[in-house]
Each structure stands twice: as structure tokens, then as C-alpha cells.
């Protein structure tokens, strides 16, 4: 049965804050950075007003924010923070410690391009720099999905068979500071969906302390990394199952949780993208179809773990892929395009892939530009 909702108008950052409020983290560490700041500001107000019973830690840097969350996670409690851009870079050491240490911290990243030059507008260069840090990465298309994805992230990450941190990503300003309608379940229904955080796989027992050596030999180190690889593979099924449970309870879905197709199942051209470009692509597909062109779309919702099987099966049925990236692996191509080409080659699928990079530094990517790119791709 689908539960009742209340519709509120809010920004994407507000939506992330509400998801955290409903999840009831016991420790929140906060450091401001544009365009993330209002997420932690909202949570500080909820704590101050008594709406959220949490330890709210104001720290001196982003590095310290994640360090505080790491300590809290090792003590066995639910933790939350948020960051963006240069702040994410500043906590880089602890981002890897968190992922490789299997700590299920939830940290929305409000995507903003990296300096120099100094720029507060969105692209995915910040989060893409940490695609190999052992974090689940999910890219959202609108305010509603920010709330839904952040809520799901707690349930996915804290599952004992997963135990990985999650990084729900939202485009800076395009989502973070733009208001839209968001359907909110009751706090009780949301918390019942997530459940309490209990029985972590790693927990420090202060009543029964032990001292451990810092060094790890090659055999154990290799085992730890292989376990992380396996956990990421398990996370694919967990994301799908949690997303299905969410749909049954709350009535909303985004494809299967890993990818979201749009349009006909088979087309001459499939436009593949992440984030708000994926949402803008829907308008482009509709208008291209009205012009008699056979085009559909596939939005990659989960970038880590990468939805290899879904992309391969979709590519087998379609004739050509146009992959639009909002970030670049300098010296090669866009990260999403690289990964799509790699999985098709590995699975011996010969569907052609055209990769383009759009929207760096906050450059607007309207549906009209996507339509032009699609028409150009169909010529080849």
C-alpha cells in the first residue's frame, strides 16, 4: 500500500536536509561551502529546535567533518555530512579512508566545478575525481529524486552485506537552489522504511578496548580490496531491491534504480547521460520524435557501482549511443563515455558510441542543444 504524502515546495538542498532529518542520524558534522551550505544549516536548525536529536559538530574544515563522521561511524552510530567541490577535495584522504574502511556514511555532494578558474557553477568534475574511492555514487535529476535517493542511501549503505558509504549527487544551483514540489511521507513512514542502524560490521567497543597495529600485509590487504569489489557487486542488487521496496511503499520509481530508460525500447539513437542533463534529455526525445526521428534515452542513475549489465542489454537492442558527459578525464574523454565504451567492448557488443562533453563550468545544456547533438549523431 502506498503511504500518504504531503507536498511542499523546497529547494534540492532542503530535500536532502529533510531526508537526513527523517533518517535521524545521531552525529552530523558540518562545514559550509557553496552551494552545499544550506543542507547543514537546515540540520543545525532542526537540532536547535529539538526536531532532531543529534550531536551536531561544527568543525574547522571539510577534512575534519568527514573525520568526525568516521569516528562516529566506528562507534556504531548513523552519521551524515555534506560537501561540494573544493571541500570534497580537501577531505580527499578521508574519502578514501571511509570507502576502503567500509564505513556507511551518507554524504550528499552538491556538484560544483573545480578551480582554477574560480567558479561556483556545476559540473561533475568533483565527484568524478572519487569514482574509485569505494563510495556508492547516485546522480539525481530533480528535487524529488534528491529526497528519495538520500533516503534510500541510508538503507542501502547500512545493510550489513554492503557496508559502503554513499554519495548522492545533485547539480549545484540547477537543483540545490531551485525550488520545486517535493512529496514528503510522514517522518514515521520514512523512518520505518529505513529502520534503525544496528549491528555494524565494524564497531569500536569502548568498554572492551583493543590495540591494533597499523600495518596490513599484502595478503590481508588484497583480501580487503577484493571484499570491497564483491560488496560493490552486491550493491547493484541491493540498490534494485531497495528501489523496488521504495516504489511499493511510496509510489515513485526511477527505472530500476540503476538506470532509467525513456521513450521506446528500440531506437536509431539512444542519448545516455547523468543528472539534470538526463532530465532535459526527456524533452529533447519528445521533440525529436515529433519531428519523425527515432530517438530514446537512458539516464544512468547509479554510476558506482556501474550498471554494466543494464547498459549492455540496452545497447544490444539499440543502434547507436550518444553519451553526453558533464566532466572530462583529461587526456582521454568523458568518464561516462569511457565506461560505456569499455563495458560494450568487454561484452563484445558492437553498438557504436559517440561521446561528447557538455556543461563544464555550469554552461547551460538545454534540450535544444541536445537535439542538435542528436541530429548530428544520426547523420553518421
Question: What CATH number is attached to the domain comprising 46?
Answer: 3.40.50.970
Does one domain contain both 219 and 271? no
Task: Tell me what pLDDT residue 58 has.
Answer: 97
Residue 210 resides in a domain: no
**Helices and strands (H, E) in the chain, number of each type:** 13, 14
Inter-residue contact 180 to 174 (CB < 8 Å): no
Inter-residue contact 144 to 254 (CB < 8 Å): no
Task: Tell me what pLDDT residue 210 has.
Answer: 72
Does one domain contain both 285 and 351? yes
Beta strands in 100-249 (DSSP E): 109-111, 136-139, 166-171, 179-185
Does one domain contain both 266 and 241? no
User: What are the backbone dihedrals phi and psi of residue 30, each rounded to the nearest 5 degrees, phi first?
Assistant: -135, 135
pLDDT digits (tens, 9 = 90+) for 313-355: 999 999 999 999 999 999 999 999 999 999 999 999 999 999 9
Residue 307 resides in a domain: yes
Does one domain contain both 78 and 24? yes
Task: Tell me what pLDDT residue 212 has.
Answer: 67
Does one domain contain both 236 and 298? no
Does one domain contain both 365 and 270? yes
Q: Which residues pair with 184 in a beta bridge?
A: 6
CATH, residue 328: 3.40.50.920
Residue 327 resides in a domain: yes
> What is the span of the domain harbouring residue 57?
5-203+215-250
Does position 269 have pLDDT exceeding 80, yes or no?
Answer: yes
pLDDT digits (tens, 9 = 90+) for 27-86: 999 999 999 999 999 999 999 999 999 999 999 999 999 999 999 999 899 999 999 999
Does one domain contain both 185 and 305? no
Residue 209 resides in a domain: no
Amino acid at each position: 500500500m502506498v503511504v500518504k504524502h504531503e507536498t511542499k515546495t523546497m529547494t534540492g538542498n532542503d530535500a536532502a536536509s529533510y531526508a537526513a532529518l527523517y533518517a535521524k542520524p545521531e552525529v552530523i558534522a558540518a562545514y559550509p561551502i557553496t552551494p552545499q551550505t544550506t543542507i547543514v544549516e537546515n540540520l543545525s536548525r532542526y537540532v536547535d529546535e529539538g526536531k532532531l536529536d543529534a550531536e551536531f559538530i561544527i568543525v574547522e574544515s571539510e577534512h575534519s567533518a568527514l573525520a568526525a563522521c568516521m569516528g562516529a561511524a566506528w562507534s556504531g552510530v548513523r552519521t551524515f555530512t555534506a560537501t561540494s567541490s573544493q571541500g570534497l577535495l580537501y577531505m580527499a584522504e578521508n574519502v578514501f579512508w571511509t570507502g576502503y574502511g567500509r564505513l556507511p556514511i551518507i554524504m550528499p555532494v552538491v556538484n560544483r566545478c573545480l578551480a582554477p578558474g574560480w567558479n561556483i557553477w556545476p559540473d561533475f568534475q568533483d565527484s568524478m575525481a572519487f569514482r574509485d574511492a569505494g563510495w556508492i555514487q547516485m546522480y539525481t535529476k530533480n528535487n524529488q529524486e534528491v529526497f528519495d535517493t538520500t533516503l534510500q542511501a541510508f538503507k542501502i549503505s547500512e545493510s550489513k552485506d554492503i557496508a559502503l558509504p554513499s554519495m548522492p549527487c545533485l547539480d549545484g544551483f540547477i537543483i540545490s537552489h531551485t525550488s520545486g514540489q517535493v512529496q514528503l511521507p510522514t517522518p514515521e513512514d520514512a523512518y520505518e522504511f529505513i529502520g534503525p542502524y544496528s549491528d555494524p560490521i565494524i564497531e569500536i567497543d569502548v568498554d572492551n578496548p583493543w590495540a591494533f597495529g597499523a600495518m596490513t600485509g599484502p595478503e590481508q590487504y588484497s583480501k580487503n580490496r577484493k571484499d570491497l569489489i564483491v560488496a560493490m557487486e552486491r550493491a547493484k542488487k541491493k540498490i534494485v531491491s531497495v528501489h523496488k521496496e521504495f516504489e511499493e511503499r511510496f509510489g515513485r520509481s526511477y527505472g530500476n534504480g540503476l538506470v532509467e530508460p525513456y521513450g521506446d525500447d528500440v531506437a536509431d539513437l539512444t542519448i545516455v547521460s547523468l543528472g539534470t542533463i538526463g532530465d532535459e534529455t526527456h524533452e529533447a526525445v519528445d521533440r525529436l520524435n515529433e519531428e519523425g526521428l527515432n530517438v530514446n534515452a537512458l539516464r544512468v542513475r547509479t554510476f558506482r557501482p556501474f550498471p554494466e549489465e543494464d547498459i549492455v542489454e540496452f545497447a544490444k537492442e539499440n543502434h547507436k549511443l550518444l553519451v553526453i558527459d558533464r566532466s572530462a578525464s583529461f587526456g582521454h574523454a568523458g568518464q561516462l563515455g569511457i565506461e560505456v565504451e569499455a563495458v560494450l567492448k568487454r561484452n563484445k557488443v558492437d553498438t557504436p558510441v559517440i561521446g561528447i562533453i557538455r556543461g563544464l563550468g555550469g554552461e547551460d545544456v538545454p534540450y535544444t542543444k541536445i537535439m542538435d547533438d542528436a541530429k548530428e549523431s544520426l547523420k553518421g
